[in-house]
């Protein structure tokens, strides 16, 4: 078998760039497809050196130091190398002779601490220099059948671009008790991502695409605790695991002119957000939701009159409120509702996450359950423009949320046709779109039976029948399709928790047989 | 232990600082050239200049608001808005509103991409050694880049009035420049283009010359910009450029033996609807259309009358969405025998103002014998049409598509008159009339998509030769050019010049081409809004099939909006955010203005 092909006239006129995609007279999309490739050939040139020093004294005192130097081709000469040291130390307390007295119940106890740095260089190639793209074209023929190449500077170079560093400090212990039936692990950590590699939007007047920058620092800190218990009673074996962690996310600084990395404005249905719907800003969690806050719904005219009498103003253009309208908060009390009244209205990061599992075995039977949960985070939900026209599609749970009369709800406004400040909110994003999204999910339940345990002469090592259900139960008050919204706004890798309608985790039922020979 | 660690560290540093090892990370980009070294030869310089042209394509795909021609067409009294209730952009353009706060974001970025490419080309080519170029090519390239920069600046100036003026590749956050700074920059670029582009390049069908900016395009654009600036801002010169200079440049451009640009024999043959596939001539048949009856034959794209326009490639990327945006619609959104030869696959976004049609029809100096009348507009749906316009429409009024029904449940401001010049055009696949292409360009070249949207490859024409003749008449107060156009249209000559005659001749010669809005703005800077409103209000429309009349939005009528905006558009809100504190919003689109148009806001 052989493959060959000929095309002449490379765009660059050099042998080195004689790859198929650099051919003059651009390839048709069909030709691209038949080559099974796109137009990019990324480099992953990475050069690493590292030295490790290990020290262990009687398995009691442990010490490790690592120094690594990593060089990446993604940065300009002089900015290529990152040095990442790390040290860790451990002390197995239970190895100490003076711990003999606890041997009866404490099997193992190790205290450890570590500090270290790691690097990240995963950005697209050649961000450090100005690239001339050759993929423009224009046709200067009368017959309009011969487009020629147009070359243009496509990006703003950032020659100072260098490694992103993540620095982690952790202290904790591993321990086992009662003949190793109980295990307890605890950690406190603080992880700082410095020189964060990010591509923030750039002002249009620069006339080319935005450079990646070393854009700031983000801190995650928290504690993790996990318990496991394994034991058996006769033929019955079981294990239980439970872990939980508390985490706080906080942006430390942003390295650009206004100290903020702006997010998408129109992330909620069109026209709604005049100010960023989310952003990265020092002192706040990364990708926090920004917008107008509300304090309930006007339930009756009396409430509106009182509000009016107290000197509060309504939204510009809406001098009069009706029962069922949102009570917006004029944060600075200047009688206007504008970007100065936009505040943090939600945080996409959970404060607390947990996981659990349970497994049981008895004779040939086995049973297991595992699940997880997350608490304290919010989701910004944007399926449709909510009240423009009754002919639009929305999910029916929305109908249940509307205010329908005094006392019906204090969270969601009345239905109104046309554009209305209950939703547009002077074209700012608002907490009407924000929901708490705490959840607990049972991810997997499995029941199995191994026939081998009943019929010993089966010619297999094991013949196990099982049924499994995945994602069978979700406990949440979030009314969207799935509270576990990982994704954020398209093109903003650092945003999260924005539900623009994604494919939810499917419920799966499986039955199967596994045979071991 | 400390020793060991230090040794370890020292080893690493030695290794890393070794040039040999560092050079292992040297990489060459085989996909892209480097701005530091490009271009190294004449070909590279030419490609940089080409990119200034190719950016124009990005203004013709994507959303409606990118196309300045469309926006100006709809805002003028040539057209009502139209489309369906969800065509917010069209209604917004018609009423000087914004369909969203960032509708202008993508064109804004495209204009600045264009400027950046011009700036890069100008800087890079100027730095190149003269010896690298054949003949006067260096000047030719530089002159084209100056022209393109002037063109983008003019489009920005006409659209936003003031904006950050970026004349180099080093761009910092900067505020809007003043009007005079902007027009001085445009004038300087156009003078450079006129002086640098060799005079030998006039109208040409030669390879690599067709559609390039010429000295004559620069002269004509100078006329266009000068007339707008001096009219709108009431000045007698533009950055020192006098009327006499402009006249001499326009005369140079209009001198056909130098420029080779000229009028076509029939004004209708510039437009794609006269093509021979749709009329059947290409198949040796007569399909009995208007074009057959009038014996018209399209001269093709790159007419010798097109002094400056955007050209597209039949085989390359890029296409012109303008025919789609102004295109007609029927319920199936595809051509049939009632819509033939028009594609009818669009949204019916642009209906012609019936009061303008009536004015043209009844004017004794023009009327339906003007070849341009039925050549520019078509009437449809005879039964409703005759009833709606019974007061002035005579029995012999030509109804081009008597059975075309449109799409009653969707169309919102249908006047039963549609524009023809940029209309998307279909054709039969062969002489048997048994099947149709959605788009006649597909018949010309099979590699063009048979799609009423992405298959349109017709020129977007900014300056026609006829316009140059009219600019000359306006500046010199003569009738020479007008009478050439009148003779071509089958009308008797005017005996003398009057401003009113000039205005009428410009209006009907350039009807529905997107020139009228700025003509009115430069002639009547303060009152253009009232004029357009008066010329539009009360005309017949069908709102979702129901007869009514064209009405203003309460509290924000066209004249009110014009008084605020003077016809300029909204700076994209996103850019104001990104240019924190430097860029300010235009009048009429500030926080307290009621400028957003949302579907459902229509007054019917």
Query: What are the tens digits of pLDDT across the range B185-197?
Result: 999 999 999 999 9
Cβ pair B210:A131 closer than 8 A: no
Per-residue pLDDT at A19: 55
**Secondary structure class of A296 (helix, strand, coil):** strand
CA distance B566 to B487: 36
| Residues of the domain holding A35 | 1-41
Closest CA to B449 of B601, B268, B317, B593: B317
Cα–Cα dist A455/A33, whole Å: 55
Inform me whether the C-beta atom of residue A258 falls under 8 Å from chain B C-beta atoms: yes
**What is the pLDDT at residue A38?**
36
Count of pairs with CB atoms under 8 A, one residue in A, one in B? 259
Q: Is residue A448 part of a domain?
A: no
Report the C-alpha gap between B262 and B400 in whole angstroms.
Answer: 30
Residue A89 and residue A66 in contact, taking contact as beta carbons nearer than 8 Å: no
Cβ within 8 Å of B, A 303-332: 316-317
ipTM of the complex: 0.93
Q: Given an 8 Å threshold on Cβ–Cβ distance, is B100 in contact with A17?
A: no
CB-based contact B22 A80, cutoff 8 Å: yes
**pLDDT for B348:** 87
Number of folded domains that form chain A: 1
Shortest Cα–Cα distance, B376 to chain A (Å): 25
C-alpha distances out from residue B476 to A6, B240, B251, B470, B482, Å:
61, 19, 11, 10, 12
A473: number of Cβ within 10 Å: 12
Give the whole-angstrom CA distance, residue A490 versus residue B168.
Answer: 32
Nearest Cβ partner for A136 among B16, B54, B120 = B54
Banded pLDDT at A11 (limits 50, 70, 90): low
* CB pair distance less than 8 Å for A266 and B28: no
Contact A258, B580 (CB under 8 A): yes
How far does B256 lie from chain A, in Å, by closest CA? 19
How would residue A13 be classed by pLDDT, with cut points 50, 70 and 90? low
- Kindly report the nearest CA distance between residue B164 and chain A, in angstroms: 7
A136 CB near a chain B CB, below 8 Å? yes
A382-417 pLDDT, tens digit per residue, is: 766 555 555 666 677 777 888 999 999 998 888 876
* pLDDT at residue A387 in the model: 53
- Distance from the Cα of B575 to chain A's closest Cα (Å) equals 6
Q: Any alpha helices (H) in A15-131, and if so which ranges?
A: 29-35
The answer to whether residue A11 sits within a structural domain is yes
Does a structural domain hold residue A28? yes
| CB contact (8 A) between residue A55 and residue B1 | yes
The dihedrals phi and psi of B530, each to the nearest 5 degrees, come to: -65, -40
Phi/psi region, residue A324 (left: phi>0; alpha: psi -120 to 50; beta: rest), is left
**How many Å is the maximal CA-CA distance in chain B?**
108
Check if the beta carbon of residue A109 is closer than 8 Å to that of residue A79.
no
C-alpha to C-alpha distance for B345 and B77, rounded to whole angstroms = 25
The SS3 of residue B56 is: helix
Contacts of B112 in chain A (CB under 8 A): 204-207
The rounded distance, in Å, linking the Cα atoms of B406 and A126 is: 53
Q: How confident is the model at residue A27 (pLDDT cuts 50, 70, 90)?
A: very low
pLDDT at position A271 is: 56
**Residues 6+ away with beta carbon under 8 Å from B519:** B503, B506, B507
For residues A414 and A298, give the distance between their C-alpha atoms in angstroms, rounded to a whole number. 10
pLDDT number for residue B589: 94
- Alpha carbon B552 to its chain's center: 26
Task: Give B92's contacts in chain A (Cβ within 8 Å).
Answer: none
Structure tokens at B393: 């429409």
The predicted structure's pLDDT at residue B452: 80
> CB distance from A338 to chain B under 8 Å?
yes
Distance CA B112, CA A501 (A): 34
Q: Which one is predicted more confidently, A30 or A482?
A: A482
Give A157-192 pLDDT, tens digit per residue.
898 999 999 999 999 999 999 999 999 999 999 999
With CA atoms as reference, report the closest residue to B517 among B465, B485, B565, B589. Answer: B565
Q: How distant, in Å, are the alpha carbons of A54, A56, B575, B582 from that of A95?
A: 19, 13, 65, 67
HSE-CB of B445 using CA atoms within 13 angstroms: 13
Between positions 62 and 101 of A, the ones with CB within 8 A of B are 65, 67-69, 71-73, 77, 80-81, 83
Task: Pinpoint the alpha helices (H) of A358-409.
Answer: 397-401
Per-residue pLDDT at A429: 87
User: pLDDT confidence of A34, banded at 50, 70, 90?
Assistant: very low
Mutation pick from A29, A204, A258, A272 vs chain B, by most beta carbons of B within 10 Å, is A204
- Of the candidates B564, B558, B566, the residue with the CA atom closest to the CA atom of residue B603: B558
Query: Rounded to the nearest 5 degrees, what angle is found at the Cα of B98, between the Cα atoms of B93 and B101?
Result: 150
Does A272 fall in a domain?
no
Q: Which positions in chain A touch B6 (Cβ < 8 Å)?
A: none
Token pair recorded at residue B170: 């080093």
Contact A343, A290 (CB under 8 A): yes
Tell me, yes or no, if A15 comes closer than 8 A to chain B by beta carbon: no
Distance from C-alpha of A505 to C-alpha of B510, rounded to nearest angstrom: 59
Q: Give the pLDDT of residue A480.
A: 86
pLDDT of A28: 44
User: Percent of chain A beyond pLDDT 90?
Assistant: 55
> Using CA atoms, how far apart are residues B173 and B582, in angstroms rounded to an integer?
7
Q: Please judge whether A49 and B173 are an interchain contact, meaning their C-beta atoms are less than 8 angstroms apart.
A: no
Q: What is the largest CA-CA distance in chain A?
A: 97
Give the nearest partner residue to B51 out of A151, A204, A427, using CB atoms: A151
Whether residue A140 and residue B211 make contact (CB cut-off 8 A), yes or no, is yes
Helix ranges restricted to H, A272-395: 301-309
Q: Do B15 and A49 touch (CB under 8 A)?
A: yes
Q: Please give the pLDDT value at position A481.
A: 87
Question: On the CB side of B559, how many CA atoms lie within 13 Å of its CA?
Answer: 12
Integer angstrom CA distances of residue B133 from B48, B161, B201: 14, 38, 17
Predicted confidence at residue A35, as pLDDT, reads: 38
- Most A CBs within 10 A among B20, B24, B31, hence the mutation to make, goes to B31
Interface contact flag, B314 A41, Cβ < 8 Å: no
Residues of B in contact with A316 (CB under 8 A): 592
Asked if the peptide bond before residue B341 counts as cis, ω within 30 degrees of 0, the response is yes
> Collapsing DSSP states into helix, strand and coil, what is residue A326?
strand
Question: How far is the alpha carbon of B110 from chain A, nearest alpha carbon, in Å?
Answer: 8
Q: For B86-97, how does the pLDDT look when each residue is reduced to its tens digit (9 = 90+)?
A: 788 899 999 999
pLDDT of residue A31: 40
Write down the pLDDT at residue A141.
95
Q: Which residues of A touch B113 (CB under 8 A)?
A: 152, 207-208
Contact between chains at A205 and B599 (C-beta distance less than 8 A): no
Give chain B's residues under pLDDT 50. none
pLDDT for position A22? 56
- The predicted-structure confidence for B136-154, as pLDDT tens digits, reads as follows 999 999 999 999 999 999 9
Cβ atoms within 10 A of the Cβ of B304, count? 19
In a domain, A3, yes or no: yes
Query: Which of A146, A151, A418 minimises the CB distance to B207?
Result: A146
Q: Considering the domain boundaries, does residue A340 fall inside one?
A: no
CB distance B117–A71 less than 8 Å?
no
Question: CB contact, 8 Å: A39 with chain B?
Answer: yes
Would you say residue A481 lies in a domain? no
Please tell me which of the candidates B171, B302, B317 has its beta carbon nearest to residue A207.
Answer: B171
b/e A45-58 (16+ beta carbons within 10 angstroms → b): eebebebeeeeeee
Q: Across residues A1-25, what is the average pLDDT?
A: 54
A53 contacts chain B (CB < 8 A): yes
In a domain, A379, yes or no: no
Nearest in space to B324 (alpha carbons), one of B414, B154, B496, B452: B452
Cβ of residue A276 closer than 8 Å to a chain B Cβ = yes
pLDDT at residue B600 in the model = 67
Mutate to test the interface with A, among B21, B32, B578 (most CBs of A within 10 A): B32
pLDDT band, residue A15 (cuts 50/70/90): low
pLDDT of residue A37 exceeding 50, the answer is no
Residues of A in contact with B171 (CB under 8 A): 205-207
């Amino acid at each position: 078998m052989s493959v060959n092909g000929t095309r002449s006239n490379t765009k660059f006129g050099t042998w080195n760039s004689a790859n198929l995609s650099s051919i003059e007279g651009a390839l048709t999309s069909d030709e691209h497809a038949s080559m099974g490739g796109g137009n990019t050939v990324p480099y992953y040139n990475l050069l690493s050196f590292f030295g490790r020093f290990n020290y262990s004294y009687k398995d009691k005192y442990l010490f490790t130091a690592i120094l690594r130097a990593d060089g990446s081709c993604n940065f300009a000469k002089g900015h290529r190398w990152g040095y990442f040291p790390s040290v860790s130390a451990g002390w197995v307390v239970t190895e100490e002779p003076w711990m003999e007295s606890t041997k009866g119940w404490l099997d193992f106890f190790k205290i450890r601490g570590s500090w270290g740095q790691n690097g990240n260089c995963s950005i697209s190639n050649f961000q450090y220099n100005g690239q001339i793209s050759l993929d423009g074209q224009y046709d200067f023929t009368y017959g309009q059948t011969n487009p020629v190449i147009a070359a243009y500077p496509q990006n703003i170079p950032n020659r100072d671009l260098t490694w992103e560093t993540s620095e982690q400090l952790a202290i904790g212990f591993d321990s086992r008790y009662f003949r190793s039936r109980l295990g307890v692990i605890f950690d406190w950590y603080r992880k700082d991502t410095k020189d964060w590699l990010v591509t923030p939007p750039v002002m249009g007047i620069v006339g080319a695409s935005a450079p990646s920058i070393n854009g700031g620092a983000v801190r995650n800190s928290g504690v993790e605790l996990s318990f496991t218990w394994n034991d058996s009673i006769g033929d019955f074996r079981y294990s239980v695991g439970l872990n939980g962690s508390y985490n706080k996310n906080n942006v430390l600084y942003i390295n650009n002119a206004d100290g903020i990395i702006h997010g998408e404005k129109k992330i909620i249905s069109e026209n709604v957000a005049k100010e960023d719907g989310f952003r990265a800003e020092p002192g706040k969690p990364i990708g926090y939701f920004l917008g107008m806050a509300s304090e309930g719904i006007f339930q009756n005219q009396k409430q509106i009159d009182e509000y009016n009498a107290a000197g509060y103003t309504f939204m510009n253009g809406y001098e009069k409120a009706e029962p069922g309208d949102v009570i917006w908060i004029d944060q600075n009390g200047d009688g206007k509702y504008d970007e100065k009244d936009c505040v943090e209205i939600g945080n996409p990061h959970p404060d607390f996450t947990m996981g659990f599992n349970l497994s049981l075995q008895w004779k040939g039977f086995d049973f297991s359950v595992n699940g997880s949960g997350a608490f304290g985070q919010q989701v910004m939900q944007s399926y449709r423009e909510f009240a423009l026209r009754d002919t639009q599609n929305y999910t029916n749970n929305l109908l249940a949320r509307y205010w329908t009369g005094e006392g019906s709800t204090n969270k969601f406004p009345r239905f109104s046709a046309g554009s209305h400040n209950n939703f547009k909110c002077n074209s700012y994003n608002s907490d009407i779109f924000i929901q708490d999204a705490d959840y607990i999910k049972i991810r997997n339940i499995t029941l199995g039976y191994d026939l081998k345990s009943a019929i010993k002469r089966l010619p297999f090592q094991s013949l196990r029948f099982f049924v499994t259900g995945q994602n069978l139960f979700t406990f949440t008050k979030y009314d969207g399709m799935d509270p576990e919204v990982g994704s954020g706004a398209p093109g903003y890798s650092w945003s999260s928790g924005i539900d623009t309608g994604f494919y939810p985790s499917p419920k799966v039922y499986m039955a199967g047989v596994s045979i071991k020979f | 232990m400390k020793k060991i660690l230090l040794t370890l560290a020292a080893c690493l540093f030695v290794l890393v600082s070794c040039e040999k090892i560092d050079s292992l990370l040297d990489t060459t980009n085989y996909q892209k050239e480097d701005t530091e070294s490009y271009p190294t030869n004449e070909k590279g310089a030419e490609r940089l200049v080409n990119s200034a042209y190719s950016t124009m394509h990005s203004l013709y795909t994507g959303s409606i608001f990118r196309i300045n021609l469309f926006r100006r067409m709809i805002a003028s009294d040539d057209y009502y808005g139209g489309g369906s209730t969800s065509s917010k952009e069209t209604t917004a353009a018609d009423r000087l509103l914004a369909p969203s706060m960032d509708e202008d974001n993508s064109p804004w970025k495209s204009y600045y991409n264009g400027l950046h490419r011009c700036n890069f080309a100008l800087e890079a080519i100027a730095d190149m050694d003269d010896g690298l170029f054949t003949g006067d090519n260096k000047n030719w390239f530089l002159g084209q880049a100056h022209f393109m920069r002037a063109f983008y600046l003019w489009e920005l100036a006409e659209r936003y009035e003031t904006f950050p003026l970026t004349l180099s590749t080093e761009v910092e956050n900067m505020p809007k420049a003043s009007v005079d700074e902007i027009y001085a920059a445009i004038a300087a670029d156009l003078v450079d283009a006129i002086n640098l582009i060799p005079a030998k390049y006039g109208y040409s069908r030669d390879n690599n010359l067709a559609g390039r900016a010429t000295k004559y395009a620069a002269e004509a654009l100078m006329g266009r910009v000068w007339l707008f600036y001096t009219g709108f801002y009431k000045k007698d010169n533009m950055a020192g450029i006098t009327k006499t200079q402009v006249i001499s440049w326009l005369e140079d451009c209009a001198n056909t033996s130098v420029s080779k640009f000229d009028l076509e024999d029939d004004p209708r043959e510039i437009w794609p609807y006269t093509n021979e596939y749709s009329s059947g001539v290409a198949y040796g048949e007569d399909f009995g259309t208007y074009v057959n009856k009038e014996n018209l034959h399209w001269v093709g794209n790159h007419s010798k009358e097109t002094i400056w326009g955007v050209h597209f490639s039949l085989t390359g990327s890029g296409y012109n969405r303008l025919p789609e945006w102004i295109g007609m619609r029927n319920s199936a959104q595809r051509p049939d025998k009632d819509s033939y030869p028009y594609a009818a696959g669009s949204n019916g976004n642009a209906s012609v103002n019936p009061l303008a049609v009536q004015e043209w029809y009844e004017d004794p100096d023009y009327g339906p014998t003007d070849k341009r009348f039925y050549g520019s507009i078509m009437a449809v749906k005879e039964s409703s049409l005759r009833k709606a316009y019974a007061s002035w429409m005579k029995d012999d009024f030509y109804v081009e598509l008597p059975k075309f029904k449109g799409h009653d449940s969707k169309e919102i401001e249908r006047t039963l008159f549609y524009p023809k010049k940029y209309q998307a055009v279909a054709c039969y696949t062969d002489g048997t009339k048994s099947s149709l292409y959605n788009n006649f360009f597909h018949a010309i070249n099979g590699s063009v998509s048979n799609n009423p949207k992405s298959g349109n490859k017709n020129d977007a024409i900014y300056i026609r030769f006829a316009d140059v003749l009219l600019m000359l008449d306006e500046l010199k107060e003569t009738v020479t050019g007008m009478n050439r156009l009148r003779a071509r249209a089958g009308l008797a000559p005017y005996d003398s010049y009057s401003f009113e005659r000039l205005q009428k001749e410009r209006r009907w010669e350039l009807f529905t081409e997107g020139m009228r809005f700025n003509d009115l703005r430069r002639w009547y800077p303060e009152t253009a809004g009232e004029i357009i409103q008066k010329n539009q209000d009360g005309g017949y429309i069908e709102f979702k099939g129901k007869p009514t009349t064209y009405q203003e939005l309460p509290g924000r009528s066209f004249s009110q909006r014009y008084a605020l905006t003077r016809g300029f558009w909204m700076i994209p809100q996103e850019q104001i955010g990104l240019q924190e504190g430097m860029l300010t919003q235009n009048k009429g689109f500030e926080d307290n203005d009621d400028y957003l148009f949302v579907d459902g806001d229509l007054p019917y």
